[in-house]
Amino acid sequence: MIFPVILSGGSGTRLWPLSRSDYPKQFINLINDETLFQNTIKRLPIETENPLIICNENHRFIVAEQLRKIDKKNNGIILEPVGKNTAPAVTLAALSLIDDFEDPVLLVLSADHVIKNIDAFHHSISCSVNLAKNGKLVTFGITPIRPDIGYGYIETKNTEKSQYYDIKSFIEKPKKHLAEQYMQSGNYFWNSGMFMFKASTYLKEINKYAPDILKACKKSLLSISQDANFIRLSDEEFNKCPSKSIDYAIMEHTNDGVVVPMDAGWSDIGSWSMLHNAKNKDLNNNVIEGNILLDNVDNSFIFSSSRLTTVINLSNIIIVDTQDALLVADRNSDQKIKHIVEKLKNEKRKESDIHRKVFRPWGYYDSIDSGEGFQVKRILVNPKSKLSLQKHKFRSEHWVVISGTAMITCGTKIFELIENQSTYIPQGVVHRLENQNNFPLEIIEIQSGSYLGEDDIIRLHDDYQRN
């Protein structure tokens, strides 16, 4: 039995401003019409079980909705209250599955990878099953096609071509000259961050080399709460867990680690340059997406979410224009984007975490305009969905229906509004917006008051069990 474990807890800061902590890269359509997360689920081998998903608490409804859109089932969604890297996440998975599924082989995959050759991907997995069943901890190595400094590397003990290789060492992102040496040597692979092993094998090794992680994960699972497929851990206990990758916690120490080569057109979309490498280019080696006009531009990545973006006489640049933030950078400096995100966080700028468009379990809102004492939002409510029953201390709201039919609760009144009709929600009055139909509802919301923050919401009842 092969049991996929999908790790979807990353924040994707190096792809800012398109990727942000509240809506990171794995949930964005970066390569095709489906997200990286959806692509990860859909390319699982047929013979595998329904996956177990591990994600951040804040992303739970995004995960559920993206699974629903591709009609894929799962064996649970474990919600991490805080990210603790891959070793604790996989420990949670192994502990959760070992008893119920008779010590399955775990196929650990990241939700943000690109794999172009799915047949080759499946072949590498099938070649690794017996190794995993026989007590090996398999990691999949990618043969380097360039001296990339954005990837980690795995050094092997043997250079002769083989089905698998013994691991000598792991190397974090190297300097350029070292990456060039690794390529020439022939005994280095890119570290894909994908693994396969039996649950019992992994737990034995984590107990040997990182018992503090195992202890913390066991305690956090003792007091779980479950809502549908969502599995919530004990915040207090999981917060005590050390933060370590599988590489550092186990693979660098174990005597049973091996590398299985994978030649599947793999890419970890960890930066704009990596995304540039993974996508189709024009005759001048540019990746262009959106309303773009160029004159004498080459070797560049240019994205615009809406407005016209024009570029003249530039080379080797990154331009990413979203509705609320613009990035302009040299392609050789894209690894420094995370420093910008850190500065934004230190300055408590919301652009580090959220987009102008914010997704919620019932749909989304888009903050169109704001000023002193007012804010304007465009709100879309999914079919058969509703917002919480709520009230506000500091603001009033005007609602105008743009399309669809709205069921309104305002105090003791319950009534319908159709296109071009409006209503007023006074400050302090209990209210709710609901879409009972099979098509989306869109409204314009105009807020006015002394304070307009999202924390001025007192929820009295909520279908999604939010506070």
Question: What's the 3-state SS for 293-345?
Answer: EEEEEECCEEEECCCCEEEEEEECEEEEECCCCEEEEEHHHHHHHHHHHHHHH
Peptide bond into 17 cis (omega under 30): yes
pLDDT at 161: 72
Place of tokens 């990210």: 83
Is 55 within 8 Å of 84 (Cβ atoms)?
Answer: no
Tokens, residue 272 = 């704009």
> For 101, left (φ over 0), alpha (ψ -120 to 50), or beta?
alpha
For position 180, what pLDDT does the model report? Answer: 83
Q: What is the model's pLDDT at position 174?
A: 80
Output the tens digit of pLDDT for each of the chain's 467 residues: 899 999 998 888 899 999 999 999 999 999 999 999 999 999 999 889 999 999 998 898 899 889 989 999 888 999 998 889 999 999 999 999 997 888 999 999 999 999 999 999 999 999 999 999 999 999 999 988 888 878 889 988 876 777 888 888 888 888 888 888 888 787 889 999 999 999 999 999 999 999 999 999 999 998 888 777 799 888 888 999 999 999 999 999 999 999 999 999 999 888 899 899 889 999 999 999 999 999 999 999 999 999 999 999 999 999 999 999 999 999 988 888 999 999 999 999 999 999 998 888 899 999 999 999 999 999 999 999 999 999 999 999 999 999 999 999 999 999 999 999 999 999 999 999 999 999 999 999 999 999 999 889 999 999 887 76
Q: Which two tokens stand for residue 258?
A: 């091996």
Residue 394, CB-side half-sphere exposure with 13 Å CA sphere: 12
Query: What pLDDT shows up at residue 1?
Result: 82
**CA–CA separation, 334 vs 318, rounded Å?**
8
pLDDT at 151: 85
Q: Two tokens at 463?
A: 């279908």
Dist. CA 189–CA 199, nearest whole Å: 25
Residue 414: count other Cβ atoms within 10 Å of its Cβ. 11
Q: How far apart are CA 305 and CA 420, in angstroms?
A: 28
**In the prediction, which pLDDT does 159 show?**
67
Q: What is the pLDDT of residue 324?
A: 92
Looking at domain 2-268, what is its CATH homologous superfamily?
Spore Coat Polysaccharide Biosynthesis Protein SpsA; Chain A (3.90.550.10)
Residue 112 CA from chain centroid, whole number: 7
> For 357-461, which CATH class?
mainly beta
Domain boundaries, the chain: 2-268, 272-345, 357-461
CB 458 within 8 A of CB 390: yes
pTM of the model: 0.89
Residue 416, SS3 per DSSP: strand
Structure tokens at 338: 């995370």
Strand bridging mode 52-56 / 77-80: parallel
Q: What tokens appear for 340 in the block? A: 């910008």
Nearest of 418, 425, 419, 429 to residue 391 by alpha carbon? 429
End-to-end CA distance of the chain: 39
CA distances from 404 to 4, 65, 103, 261, 432 (A): 40, 21, 50, 53, 16
305: which DSSP letter?
A: S
Residue (of 259, 255, 247) closest to 188 by Cα position:
259
Q: What is the pLDDT of residue 359?
A: 87
Q: Are strands 317-321 and 326-330 parallel, antiparallel or unpaired?
A: antiparallel
- Angstrom distance (rounded) from CA 4 to CA 48: 7
